[in-house]
Chain A
Amino acid sequence: MSLTARIVSALLAAFVVAIILKLQRRGGLVSKYGLLWMATSAVMLVMAAAPDVVDTVGGWLGVEYTPSLVFMAALGFVLVVLVQYSWELSRSEQRIQILMEEVALLRRELDEQRKDAEAEG
């Protein structure tokens, strides 16, 4: 890998770390996702700093064209993360719905009690 490529990928990884840190500090990110993306950018940093790591790991696994290993791993990772997000989103939607139902039922009960109180008072 050329020096330029290494610098670019290191900058990219650093950029991701910076964004994640900023989001985290602003409170816009739950810490579990913060950790996930920081770990991801750490891996990116390592690969930028020492691209030989990819070749070494590829050699262990018997992969001939090692860059494809990076793509496969990245794709697999993104897929797992997306499925996890779909699951989490479904769960949130359900929780919101149950919450709404409770709000509607409580509001009804409150109205009823107000009416009763008015009738008595």
Chain B
Amino acid sequence: MDNSGLIAVIPAYNEENTVGAVIAEVQRTCSGPAEVRPAEVRPVEVVVVDDGSADSTAETAAAAGATVLRLPVNLGYGAALRLGFRYAAGRQWDCALVLDADGQHIATDIPSLVAACHSGADLVLGSRFHPDCAVAYPVSRIRRAAIRVVSRVLRHRRGVALTDPTSGFWAMSRPCVELFSRQLPAGYLDNLLGLSIAARAGLAIAEVPVTMAPRQGGQPSTQGARLVFHYLRTLLAISIGGRS
């Protein structure tokens, strides 16, 4: 393990209210003096991918000290993530993170994700539904059902058993990020497809329990009928492959 540090990719769409605090939180957890920060973490480059926000997300993120990549129009979460991976593939680091800009993912969980990554996993997911979680995370019934279906498909088609495959809180090794930056199709819509690609490539996937905060701002990216449509598209993509 070298000391080149961490990179945290944060896709953001109209998150001016929370993105600054999230960046500060990540920096506080990771970049404190070596004596106080957890042994697993290292100085961090925070990369905010501004997915065509109409508000001051990009300015806020830049002011908070993040590297900002600005997509000229809103392309969706998956596209923002894909850009983040492409950028990260060309940088120096020894563990890459993905987390949400809405404050849902808590920076104090970063050390346990990074530790799992350093102990050999290529892709580590922070799970809200892990048996070791202290409290069950509340989700809508449609989402819960969709997560269950997706878990089953992933187990049967790809042989990975996960409690929270839709989690957007990830830690990754370099081979994993390089695989994503090469193989995620343009039009990539969800982390599930990435998960499926990683499983197919035979990368080691692990889960660690995390506590997720109820979202502090913004709207869930998809709700109701759109959520169902979104999951159907994702299921098609992960079960048949090809483009999303």
Q: Interface of A with B (CB < 8 Å)?
A: 90, 93-95, 97-98, 100-101, 103-105, 107-108
Contact = CB atoms under 8 A, between A and B. Distances in A.
A94 B71 contact: no
Given A90-B187, A97-B75, A101-B83, A107 B70 contact: yes
B75 A100 contact: yes
B87 A90 contact: no
B243 interface: yes
B82 interface: yes
B36 interface: no
Contacts of B68: 108
B86 interface: yes
Interface string B61-76: 0000001111111010
**Number of chain B interface residues as a range:** 10 to 19
A94 B83 CA distance: 13
B186 interface: yes
Given A94-B187, A97-B186, A98-B186, A104 B71 contact: yes
A97 to B, nearest CB: 4
Contact of A97 (B49, B70, B187): B187
B185 interface: yes
B187 A104 contact: no
Question: For A95, A104, A105, A108, which residue has the most chain B Cβ atoms within 10 angstroms?
Answer: A104
B79 interface: yes
Contacts of B83: 100-101, 104-105
B67 A104 contact: no
B67 A108 contact: yes
Q: Which 4 A-B pairs have the closest CB atoms?
A: A94-B186, A97-B186, A104-B69, A101-B83
Contacts of A105: 69, 83, 86-87
Contact of B73 (A94, A100, A107): A100
A104 B186 contact: no
B243 A94 contact: yes
Given A94-B186, A100-B71, A101-B71, 17 more contacts: A90-B187, A90-B243, A94-B187, A97-B82, A97-B186, A97-B187, A100-B72, A100-B83, A101-B82, A101-B86, A103-B71, A104-B69, A104-B70, A104-B71, A105-B69, A107-B70, A108-B69
Interface in B159-190: 185-187
A98 B83 CA distance: 9
A97 B67 CA distance: 20
Contacts of B187: 90, 93-94, 97
Interface string B31-70: 0000000000000000001000000000000000001111
Interface string B135-174: 0000000000000000000000000000000000000000
Nearest to A104: B69
A94 B72 CA distance: 15
Interface in B65-110: 67-73, 75, 79, 82-83, 86-87
